[in-house]
Chains A and B, each alone.
Chain A
């Protein structure tokens, strides 16, 4: 494998891990606050559709992005209401949202655009283009660092930069702000938070709101950055990989970034490995595809360290009197 192939592989890794990272961080906020969220997939799908639809109708990718954010936040609030206020089963709520998204997006897509569930092809302003960072071409001449800067770091969609920026922002929010402290507390011991005079319900809704926001970015990425329009079920299970990554990263932002990069790498690898052989044995591509899930199960089983989630996760909070 020469340097060019390596760079191309790493480049693909970054592109493929971006939506994972955004969704993973989205899930982080919810789960840290004690609200299990297996509906990341559904929220991303809704957002992807909204972005694709609005971008097609207005011709502006930014409008699409805004629509994605709005829809995703609304969906997250719906799921949140079921889990927080109505104290329903959070897991069922997630499953329902995923299904609803799958049905609604295909349905509306077909109704509005009559292309079998797809939204029209986007071009020009309708989707985000690659951004060339300053002096990319000049720096690109420098051996070794140059290509890295020019290929790997520059030349991505804006949402990629948003995603990777979100990591230090999340780390800061989580560990350096009052909101982050309370958020982490409410996922571990909501009673402690309640007796300290803080509203558990309000905190959890705030977390769910942020989840919706980040899922909005993730979903938009699919249809108006990486792709050029919404296609049926285009998230293809990435929401669950993001969930797996979250668990694997033990609900921490920086490990989440590395985990998503790892999973993205695996994804980039399996595309290129079709038919490749190692020592005479052909590696089934599906083995690599399944690897993120297998790793997560192994982690959950406690075989490579323990994955202990927020203690109060999944349990609706009731004031005991």
Chain B
């Protein structure tokens, strides 16, 4: 009998992710221990490395910015029942849009370039996601496989573009021309001394705006309503007159557009040019962020911050404990995805049973609900 009362909201949103995170930390801690290092020292090193001073916090925020965009991209698609793991490719191709705009408007003030660049990033990234979306909606091709393929195609495309098209004469490495000083987005360090020499820039405001925007979109617009209906019950969507195929295409495009904002941050705000693999796997971290944040902007913001801290703290780890470096963070991240996404079945029933122990009527009610079905 699997009659279980659904978890109360607080347990679902807060307790489960924390338990998953805890387990991920414990397992990683065991790995660290197995290597012969003290996991608690490692954790402390990560914490101070992330928040210890202005420089560290700046870097943490910079990472978090990218993770917010990537997490939102995955979350928006997830609300519609779609698993977009093409964030990497979408962000990468979006970089093309950003650099083209920036170079075309070379020597213009960044305040003018930025909006156009955002649109370009959204368009390019959105397009890269639209194709798999179209394939799913109209041809039934599984969006997971196609987005994986498109990640690789993007990589090949961008290497070509960087080596052959965008590389200015006289430059040896695969990168584009630099964006002029005027066009670069200001770094926060210019206004707030503790953040000096860190890459965190004005795109963080866009990230915050995106968080708010996605919240409004998913829970306060008709589109968001239709999105959630489709994600939870495509048959009910059909009943309600919602066009599943149109929603799939729109959602994927939006998702890709959000992923594209990573390019906006990196190209216009940090690197000031297009370089190879500037995405640095942010797309996959976005999956972890979305899973941990339960696809909700508040959760995503927190999870992005968490992973940003892990990344930055992980970078600092090698200076504190010789022999450890940020790959520990990759392991933690992978475990988070494993426990949160794939092994939900570990905790949920246990929690449900425990919580039900406190209320026999709930249990009886649940059993009745499970079994009073029409019988032939």
Contacts and interface: CB of A to CB of B under 8 A. Distances in A.
B141 A301 contact: yes
Given A297-B150, A302-B139, A96 B337 contact: yes
B68 to A, nearest CB: 19
B139 A38 contact: no
B338 A82 contact: yes
A284 B164 CA distance: 9
Contacts of B31: 104, 107
Contacts of A103: 327-331, 333-334
Interface stretch (B45-53, B58-66, B340-348): B340-348
Interface string A71-100: 000000001001101111111110111111
A167 to B, nearest CB: 23
B109 to A, nearest CB: 35
Interface string B317-332: 0000001010111110
Contacts of A95: 85, 284, 287, 337, 341
B144 interface: yes
Contacts of B330: 99, 102-103, 106-107
Interface size class on chain B is 35 or more
Interface in A92-136: 92-93, 95-100, 102-104, 106-108, 110-111, 114, 117
Given A91-B144, A93-B342, A244 B149 contact: yes
Interface string B129-168: 0000001000111101110111011001101100010000
Q: Looking at chain A's contact residues, is the secondary structure mostly helix, strand, loop, or mixed? A: helix
A187 B361 CA distance: 41
B335 interface: yes
A265 B323 CA distance: 41
A247 interface: yes
Interface stretch (A171-179, A209-217, A288-296): A288-296
A44 interface: no
Interface centre among A97, A99, A296 (most CB of B within 10 A): A99
A170 B78 CA distance: 37
A87 B349 CA distance: 12
Interface string B66-100: 00000000000000000101000000000000000
A174 B160 CA distance: 42
Contact of B284 (A99, A106, A114): A99
Contacts of A110: 323, 325, 327
A293 B149 contact: yes
Nearest to B83: A91
Contacts of A301: 135, 139, 141
B37 to A, nearest CB: 9
A262 interface: no
B35 interface: yes
Contact of A100 (B141, B149, B338, B341): B338
Contacts of A289: 156
Interface residues of A, number: 46
A302 B335 CA distance: 36
Contacts of A290: 152-153, 156-157
Contact of A243 (B145, B329, B331, B341): B145
Contacts of B140: 302
A243 B148 contact: yes
A86 B31 CA distance: 24
Nearest to A103: B330
Contact of A302 (B141, B284, B329): B141
A93 B83 CA distance: 13
B149 A296 contact: yes
A38 B144 contact: yes
A5 interface: no
B291 interface: yes
Given A284-B160, A287-B156, A301-B141, A88 B149 contact: no
A92 B342 contact: yes
Contacts of B334: 96-100, 102-104
Given A89-B83, A286-B156, 15 more contacts: A38-B148, A79-B342, A83-B342, A91-B85, A92-B341, A93-B338, A96-B341, A98-B334, A99-B333, A104-B31, A107-B328, A107-B331, A111-B323, A297-B135, A300-B139
